[in-house]
Structure 1
Amino acid sequence: MPVKWLLVSMMMGTAVPAYSSGLYLYEIATEDTGLAGAGQAARAQDASTIMTNPAGMTRLPDRMITGGLQMLYGDTPYSLDNDAVVQGKSPGNTIGWFPGASMFYHQQLTDDISAGIGLYGNYGLGLDFGNWAGDRLIKKSTLVGMTLSPALAWKINDRLSWGVGLGINYGFLSLTRNVDGQDAKQSDHDWALNFRTGLLFNITDATRVGVNYTSKTEYHFAIDGKARFPQQPNAEYTLPLSAQINTPDQLMLSLVHDFNQRWSIMGDLGWQNWSQYGGNQISISGQGAPTNNRLQDTWHTALGVQFRPDDRWRLNSGIAYDSSFYQNQNDTSMTMPSGEAWRFGVGAQYQLTEASNIGAAFEYLTMESSRVSSPLFKGGYNNPDIYFFSMNYSYMF
């Protein structure tokens, strides 16, 4: 999903994906936040459509720039069970505050061809376990993912448009742990390419449907995830770093219907291919838990409403649901606190001048609890919550 947490195990994204379905976050400091992402592949009301569906650029004015700032607060406390193998202090909240930003530019090249470029981060997050019982295995982890995306769109005819975008992705991963009383930090970075392509079809003058496909992104980091504990000198524990640093391919279908000049309704149906990344758990002396693929594909649905009381205001509200990428919430990874998620968003846009508008949005994301069944640091995340606060600005020239 795509909730989409953008929170897969070691992450801290530039704009931060919500925790929801792993690493992806839909929230990138745009108007979509107030709609809980509803209609994202068909709305095309600002230059951020470069990310959600590049075909939407054909609906924009000659030149347009859209930028946004965002803060999220994650309330994701991890509590150890009393019978954990390694006794000690629980980590408490593992996320806290994290900032994000995005910027998009669009330009019409001809009557039928448009181009644009975006810089954003909707992938990654950070976990901070602090000084706790398992700080020899993990104390802090950060995954920062940034994407530079040039895109083109072609207006095939008055009803159909097609767009394609390239993702030039930069990833930075760091892992900090306690080694003999001192903080030891490892880090690495990598570049990866992916692409997205989309169609936008006007069924009628009042109804349009959009579909957007985004390919997977795979990073390769040279990080040693192995650790030992004085209480168990013959056992070697290894953090799972494979699935946490990849994002699966995803498909999003969106619809927008304008009832009249004031009211519009919009919705989404989405899918993410998380099952391709298999199991994800701490292994002990090279042996993982006796489980096959603990991950499964995720599904996303959203419904939003937009109300325009006059020519200056645009009011947004939306709700979204994402399924969990875990097959069993009682057998999850400590470094991937995720589950089925609900999003609730509200926002408003104000037309400052004929060429510019400014907006603000708030979204509340709540996830189901998850339990870690591994004998090491058994415990769980009890009803994690994330709060998004964002502002955006668009200028046409």
Structure 2
Amino acid sequence: MKKINILIALAMFVSCVKAWASGFQVLEQGASNLGTALAGAVVNTNNDATAAYWNPSAAFFVESENKLDVAISIIYPEMKSHVTATHTSPYQPGTNIPTPGINDNAGKLAVVPNAYYVRKFGERFAGTLSITSPFGLATQYDEESNFIGRYDGVNSDIQTIQINPSLAYKVNDWLSLSVGASADYIHAELTSYTFIPQNGLPLPAGGIDARTRVDGSGWSGSFNVGATVKFLETGRFGISYRYQIRHDIEGYVTTSNPMFGIFNRQSAAAKLNLPSNLNLGASYKFKDDFWNQFTVMAAYTFTWWSSFKDLDITNDAGGLIHHTAENWRNTHRASVGAAYQPDWNKDLTLRIGAAFDQSPVRNAKFRTVRVPDTNRIWATCGLGYKIGNMNFDLAYMHIFFDDANINNTQNHAYSSSTIKGYYDGCAHVVSMQVGVKW
């Protein structure tokens, strides 16, 4: 038990992480699941403790009284900007002033650790605990390189921790149910530059750049429910639902330029609704003499990203400091996968998968330099191996991004700015997992 407490405490310490996914949902939850593009996650095809996050009702497929899995994913996104930028000044009305600077890569290396635990209490009850980072964002442009879109965003950093205990009940041999609650922490840091016009300064300058930093955090909560049906001897169907997280973030906004003696700091607040999602999944292991080495699976997810309509930052008096119209749409994700467990080595599992992941960004008008999101295709592979009471899993995922057109205008304190062009790129994800049962 002491080892379990140490591992859980460590996971709580490092789960405050950053990731880059469709929208900004973190889907790197278990290397065993990434190998099949998450197609088997909701029904716990791998019979491990990751069910604690995806669908605790599927925890009864764990083949031991206790199961602990710890996973870590390394994400390297490449999202190169190919944009032009203009801004306005009240001293040159009706004039779009070209913003000087260069294009840059929006991607940032991220590390995503998670921990999952399952404890069975007899044949009818099970308790689970997942400590994860379900949402995260890390886009960072090099400030020293004078990024051309700096008035709209330079660094965007959203970090989350979710502590989610759940209880599962096995109704009979073919049906199990679960319910859980979560405590959710968020920390957000957004930096950009503010163009402060100065009357009399010549074009193309016409003003002073001051660095603006918004920093805030908050706690909230949510709940999740799930069900798993064993519809055949080797077939499973699962469904899980997670309710949205409504965060009230409180912190400060600071604007500074030491060279010109500019410094202003004031309290700030923002509301951020992180979406509900519904997950469906099914798997089937063939029974014929040769085909019984293969398991096929499929999954579908619907995410209510339409809850993210605006990002408004206000001061203590309720006055608006900054407004960004997001107007995101609900999204779909569909995945398929297969696993091969050869007769000549039942401890080895080879996995492959693919998925389509829809972006919540509606069009170029609402795409921003902070989240230059777009539709994507996943191609994944992985392997698992068991040694005694331990399991080791490794997965690789390559994400193909569609080109992301951008034509976004934002109003700032002293000016407005417009970004036009496109982003292109891809992402690489390597995930590792270690588990123990007793």
**Aligning the two structures, in what range does the TM-score lie when normalised by the shorter sequence?**
0.7 to 0.9
Partners of 2:151 and 2:369 in 1: how far apart?
14
For 1:262, which of 293, 296, 300 is the aligned residue? Answer: 293
Match of 1:366 in 2: 400
Match of 1:33 in 2: 34
Partners of 2:210 and 2:308 in 1: how far apart?
33
For 1:294, which of 311, 324, 327 is the aligned residue? Answer: 327
Contact 1:312–1:352 (8 Å) recurs in 2:
yes
Q: 1:135 to 1:83 in 2, by over 3 A?
A: closer
Q: 1:242 to 1:383 in 2, by over 3 A?
A: farther
Match of 1:106 in 2: 118
Q: 1:115 to 1:259 in 2, by over 3 A?
A: same
Which is further off, 376-385 or 187-196?
376-385
1:211 and 2:239 matched? yes
Match of 2:58 in 1: 56
1:320 and 2:355 matched? yes
1:95 and 2:107 matched? yes
Match of 1:194 in 2: 222
Please identify which structure carries the higher strand content. 2
Partners of 2:346 and 2:322 in 1: how far apart?
63
Secondary structure of the residue that 1:138 maps to in structure 2?
A: coil
Give the drift of 1:77.
1.8
- Give the residue type in structure 1 aligned to 2:330: D
What does 1:1-397 correspond to in 2, within 5 Å? 14=16, 19-20=21-22, 22-44=23-45, 45-60=47-62, 61-81=64-84, 85-131=97-143, 132=146, 133-178=148-193, 185-222=213-250, 245-260=272-287, 261-278=292-309, 294-309=327-342, 310-329=345-364, 331-353=366-388, 355-370=389-404, 371-374=406-409, 376-397=417-438
Contact 1:372–1:378 (8 Å) recurs in 2:
yes
Q: 1:112 to 1:82 in 2, by over 3 A?
A: closer
Partners of 2:85 and 2:223 in 1: how far apart?
47
- Give the residue type in structure 1 aligned to 2:182: G
Partners of 1:376 and 1:226 in 2: how far apart?
20
Partners of 2:422 and 2:55 in 1: how far apart?
34
- Give the residue type in structure 2 aligned to 1:175: L
Give the drift of 1:189.
1.2
Q: 1:13 to 1:387 in 2, by over 3 A?
A: farther
Partners of 2:218 and 2:423 in 1: how far apart?
33
- Relative contact order (C-alpha < 8 Å, sep 6+): which is higher? 1
Please identify which structure carries the higher helix content. 2
Give the drift of 1:101.
0.5
Partners of 1:307 and 1:14 in 2: how far apart?
34
Partners of 1:384 and 1:221 in 2: how far apart?
32
Give the unaligned 5+ runs of structure 1. Answer: 1-11, 230-240
Partners of 2:431 and 2:295 in 1: how far apart?
22
Contact 2:15–2:131 (8 Å) recurs in 1:
no
Q: 1:340 to 1:228 in 2, by over 3 A?
A: farther
Give the drift of 1:130.
2.2
Secondary structure of the residue that 2:307 maps to in structure 1?
A: helix
Partners of 1:40 and 1:217 in 2: how far apart?
22
Q: Percent identity?
A: 17
Give the drift of 1:134.
4.2
- Give the residue type in structure 1 aligned to 2:348: W
Give the drift of 1:321.
0.6
Give the drift of 1:16.
5.2
Partners of 1:117 and 1:390 in 2: how far apart?
20
Contact 1:137–1:228 (8 Å) recurs in 2:
no
Q: 1:176 to 1:286 in 2, by over 3 A?
A: closer
Give the drift of 1:224.
6.2
Contact 2:381–2:396 (8 Å) recurs in 1:
yes
Contact 1:16–1:122 (8 Å) recurs in 2:
no
What TM-score results when the alignment is normalised by the length of structure 1? 0.84
Give the unaligned 5+ runs of structure 2. Answer: 1-13, 88-96, 195-207, 258-268, 314-319, 410-415
Secondary structure of the residue that 2:417 maps to in structure 1?
A: coil
Secondary structure of the residue that 1:32 maps to in structure 2?
A: helix
Which is further off, 333-342 or 147-156?
333-342
Secondary structure of the residue that 2:25 maps to in structure 1?
A: coil
